[in-house]
Structure 1
Amino acid sequence: MSNILEIKNLSLKIGIQDILHDISVTVPEQGIVSVLGANGVGKTSLMRCISGIYHATGGEILLEGEDISKLKSHEIVERGIMQAPEGRQIFSNMTVLENLVIGAGPLGRQELDHVLALFPRLEERLKQQAGSMSGGEQQMLCIGRALMRKPKVLLLDEPSLGLAPRLVGFICELVSKIRAEGYAVLLVEQNVKAALRISDTASVIEHGKIVIEGDASALANDPRVAEAYLGGHVHETA
């Protein structure tokens, strides 16, 4: 399986602050790759670099071999990368359908039908104001909106944030289903246990650097990961 997204030796500096240091991550076609770590270690900054919100100060971001690290956000979207951002950032005062249409690309109706088939709950609530839905439903809408352009790579930034444990499991199942639909997924998560359960490979970031990386099932049994993230120090969001 070939790699669709390659992040090579990426660094980011904002003002005098070094945010990311020599980050390298590869995402294969139809794979799930997780970037894990506590809050504030640089995970979201990495996503913003890939999306073109931040411009890296070193390294490359290759999408199908093309370096996109200097492109603007809309150009990156046009090339096939979409992000479901941290905190959902849906348009609360608009309907579910209006939120989805905003994310639509050239495919229009065809892709709307596909997203609604993937998220039947959204089809039931098309005319409902998005802000009146539950947290789990809003997360579905956020992800569905990102899928409206049928991206080559889907970036998911903390999809389990603020959800009850039972909904965390549901979102994980949803991400696995999205992968089965043929998407490549780069997942950023604080919930290490949940992310490792569905990922192929994972990298753990501390202080802007990758400190552990490898096969997800191996990392789930790695004593270093277990001690720092799978024991009393890290728990699922209530």
Structure 2
Amino acid sequence: MTSDLIIENLDVHYGGVRALTNLTVTVRAGTCTTLLGANGAGKTSALRGIGGLIRASGTVTLGGRRLDGKSAARRAGAGLGHVLEGRHVFPGLTVAENIAVARRRAPRETRRDPLELLPELRSHLDRPAGGLSGGQQQMLAIARAIAGGPRAVMLDEPTNGLSPKLVARTIEIIAELRDLGYAVLLVEQRLEVAQELGSDVVVLRHGETAHRGSGTDPALPDLLHSMYLS
């Protein structure tokens, strides 16, 4: 069972510093939306605010259920999967144990075997996660999110630091998640990722929404170039 993810008027502040202002975006089940922007544009703050990891105002609704005001753990339990920037696997646990930790909280109706999506992890199930390569850890982070039984999945710069081959594989996995019916909210700096996915895009600049459209919009590369330089 998957669901629409709806964010309305999301604001994030760190003390007196504004990180994000009035973000409104709807990610329908079976679609992908990408938040694009330079470093400091508010992309990661958006995902952390949606996920309940930092204080934020505004509304977050998943499948008609309001999640704002709830803890990050309760949002995850309601079906909001989150692949954090930097992977954040449990290095002392094996790959199988990492997946099992996430699977324990998965609702029965949304359970899915992540190894069907990521069969390359099967040969590493008994290895400590801390001994995996960066690309393998990224695959494990995605597998853990799927093992948690999400209805929607957020991924924060999942291609960062990966080889071209692994970037292509990660894009393939995200496309599969979309095609399985998940609402996918992606943070990226690479326009080509949004283009490969045929994703809708929201461009953030200094915490504000500067542009909405499609990743295939021919004007978007020049627009992003000017924003990244300003």
Partner AA of 1:29 in structure 2? A
Q: Aligned partners of 2:106 and 2:182: how far apart in 1? A: 18
| Aligned alpha-carbon RMSD (Å) | 2.2
Deviations 1:112-138 (A, max 9, x none): 7x2112111111110011122222211
Deviations 1:128-186 (A, max 9, x none): 11122222211110000000122110010110011122211111011111222222110
Closer/same/farther in 2, CA of residues 145 and 97 from structure 1, 3 Å limit: same
Alignment partner, residue 100 of structure 1: 99
Partner AA of 2:159 in structure 1? S
Segments of 5+ residues of structure 1 without an aligned counterpart are none
Alignment partner, residue 90 of structure 1: 89
Q: Aligned partners of 2:50 and 2:63: how far apart in 1? A: 13
Closer/same/farther in 2, CA of residues 26 and 19 from structure 1, 3 Å limit: same
Q: Are positions 1:26 and 2:26 aligned together?
A: yes
Closer/same/farther in 2, CA of residues 35 and 106 from structure 1, 3 Å limit: closer
Choose which of 196, 221, 224 in structure 2 pairs with 1:226.
Answer: 221
Q: Aligned partners of 1:5 and 1:111: how far apart in 2? A: 19
Partner AA of 2:222 in structure 1? E
| Count of equivalent residues | 225
Closer/same/farther in 2, CA of residues 156 and 126 from structure 1, 3 Å limit: same
Question: Match of 1:217, SS?
Answer: coil
Alignment partner, residue 55 of structure 1: 55
Q: Are positions 1:45 and 2:80 aligned together?
A: no
Q: Aligned partners of 1:3 and 1:19: how far apart in 2? A: 27
> Cα offset for 1:228?
4.9
Segments of 5+ residues of structure 2 without an aligned counterpart are none
Q: Aligned partners of 1:230 and 1:211: how far apart in 2? A: 13
> Cα offset for 1:216?
2.4
Alignment partner, residue 171 of structure 1: 170
Closer/same/farther in 2, CA of residues 53 and 22 from structure 1, 3 Å limit: same
Q: Are positions 1:191 and 2:225 aligned together?
A: no
Deviations 1:47-78 (A, max 9, x none): 11111111213x22222233322111111111
Q: Aligned partners of 1:166 and 1:106: how far apart in 2? A: 31
Q: Aligned partners of 1:3 and 1:183: how far apart in 2? A: 7
Is the 8 Å Cα contact of residues 77 and 106 (structure 2) preserved in structure 1? no
Q: Aligned partners of 2:12 and 2:159: how far apart in 1? A: 26
Task: Give the structure-2-normalised TM-score.
Answer: 0.90
Alignment partner, residue 7 of structure 2: 7
Alignment partner, residue 118 of structure 1: 117
Alignment partner, residue 151 of structure 2: 152
Task: Give the structure-1-normalised TM-score.
Answer: 0.87
Q: Aligned partners of 2:106 and 2:63: how far apart in 1? A: 21
Alignment partner, residue 16 of structure 2: 16
